[in-house]
Structure 1
Amino acid sequence: MRPGCVTSDMAKDTTGRLHVTVKTGGKRKLSSKLWLERQLNDPYVAQAKRDGFRSRAAYKLLEIDDKHHFLKRGISVIDLGAAPGGWSQIAAKRVGAADGKGRVVAIDLLAMPEIPGVTFAQLDFLAEDAPEKILKMMGGRADVVLSDMAANTTGHRKTDQLRILGLVEGAAAFAADVLNPGGTFVAKVFQSGADAELMTQLKRDFATVKHVKPASSRQDSSERYVLAMGFRGQPKALTSEQGGA
């Protein structure tokens, strides 16, 4: 077998479904083998390809919105850490961005191929001037801020938890700067969810705050989402360039 070559066997699991087992050669790590097996056996990965979505994560946003109905036609949405674009695709479709009814701005450090109805900005949303730049792009405030971001992991549990928390806190602070009154914030968290201090802040800024776990999240994953609706914070005043009076 050539180094890096991948072969697989198929057999039925205990439920009668076909299960792909990856056999690898060369220097492929066990973690890579397990990740590839998980992808090949994940029904949402296959469904995303059939439905034309860029990632299986699209179904998570679909499920959350089907239940809580915050992606309304004609509103403005900011998608943080958007690449490869699964959430932006769903947001654009539901708010009517491709038809000029709503608006979606996607942000990521990485480049992202164009999505109909989505304006993309390659920048760091944690930069001090990021809210001002994005508000100027949008011509006003957002009604929804989405974040399906996950920090790069080190394998050191405490360090990883701090990185994840810092990213969610940054996204929440960004949302408080750019949301319209009544707006919604959705962000990925892990394990027990957002920590107590962040939850306290969100409950001050939003009318309702809860944790949700869509069925399309992998069963063995600790990910959850914090859903904050009814923004009632006091955002900074808009300048005329950002769409204010």
Structure 2
Amino acid sequence: MKTTKSPGGPGGRELKTRVKTARKRTLSSTLWLQRQLNDPYVVRAKREGWRSRAAYKLLEIDEKHHLLQPGQRIVDLGAAPGGWSQAAAKKVGSAHGHGKVVGIDLLDIEPIAGVEFAVQDFLAPEAPDLLKTMLGGEADGVISDMAANTTGHKKTDHLRIVHLGELAAEFAGEVLKPGGYFLCKLFQGGETGELVARLKRDYAVVRHIKPNSSRADSSELYVLATGFRAKAT
């Protein structure tokens, strides 16, 4: 691994880290590591104490749309490694007894002040009831940065992420209070029409968002639905 200078930084030059391919490291792994080391949001997250660069996506969306407010109750689906939960906890004040943040993921995370977390597959039949018990009432917001494991087949991978979005939307409809919001990661492409139509039926406003902190070469985008219309019981 070595650091070189390339055009673009202060004075026209910036530091660039290049990673040599190790004997036991594949080329794709080497390129991923090199991208991570040179990603300004990764560097910034480490410097500012965030669990992941993803925290900036939520913070950027929140800055524009004013979602996270003190005292709110938030559910974070696909929480690992904790960037979104950490940002939500800071915004709602759950570490100081204001509001609540609960999260779920297949992968464990290091404890975060103000976050109640469970290692569980969201697709498991018992997951929704577990989250409802943890939450202990209605939610102000459901946020989801879940992504399915990729197969390498673009259409299959896209269908998987849409399916996760549909399940997350269904869960949000069960726990949100009137006026609540739902934020979910998708990927650009087809097959999202049915999900978006459902959200437009159940929420006052539906937007598609591509945060500046999303990598330029990524097809990810986020759908934000606000003003939940609770169904009559």
Same fold per superposition (TM over 0.5)? yes
State how far apart, in whole Å, the 1-side matches of 2:190 and 2:73 are: 26
**Residue aligning to 2:95:** 98
**Residue aligning to 1:52:** 49
Gaps of at least 5 residues in structure 1 are: 1-6, 238-245
Gaps of at least 5 residues in structure 2 are: none
Which of 11, 15, 18 pairs up with 2:5?
A: 11
Offset at 1:168? 1.0
Q: 1:139-178, aligned counterparts within 5 Å?
A: 139-178=136-175
Contact 1:9-1:23 at 8 Å conserved across structures: no
Provide the alpha-carbon RMSD of the alignment: 1.6
**Residue aligning to 1:195:** 192
Offset at 1:194? 6.9
- Code of the residue aligned with 1:115 in structure 2: it is I
State the secondary structure of the residue aligned to 1:23.
coil
Offset at 1:53? 0.4
**Residue aligning to 1:138:** 135
Contact 1:131-1:178 at 8 Å conserved across structures: no
State how far apart, in whole Å, the 1-side matches of 2:184 and 2:110 are: 23
Which of 55, 70, 73 pairs up with 1:76?
A: 73
User: Scaled by the length of structure 2, what TM-score is found?
Assistant: 0.94
State how far apart, in whole Å, the 2-side matches of 1:73 and 1:117 are: 13
- Code of the residue aligned with 1:219 in structure 2: it is A
User: Scaled by the length of structure 1, what TM-score is found?
Assistant: 0.89
State the secondary structure of the residue aligned to 1:119.
strand
Which of 61, 85, 104 pairs up with 1:64?
A: 61
After alignment, is 82-91 or 13-22 more displaced? 13-22
State how far apart, in whole Å, the 1-side matches of 2:126 and 2:230 are: 20
Contact 2:17-2:34 at 8 Å conserved across structures: yes
Offset at 1:193? 7.5
**Residue aligning to 1:4:** none
State the secondary structure of the residue aligned to 2:157.
helix
State how far apart, in whole Å, the 2-side matches of 1:190 and 1:70 are: 22
- Write out per-residue CA displacement over residues 136-177 of structure 1, whole angstroms, 9 at most, x where no aligned residue: 222101110011111111111111111111111111111111
Contact 2:177-2:230 at 8 Å conserved across structures: no
Alpha carbons of 1:193 and 1:57: their partners in 2 closer, same or farther (altered >3 Å)? farther
- Code of the residue aligned with 1:105 in structure 2: it is V
Contact 1:186-1:227 at 8 Å conserved across structures: yes
Offset at 1:26? 0.6
State the secondary structure of the residue aligned to 1:113.
coil
- Code of the residue aligned with 1:229 in structure 2: it is T
Query: Percent identity at matched positions?
Result: 61
State how far apart, in whole Å, the 1-side matches of 2:37 and 2:51 are: 16
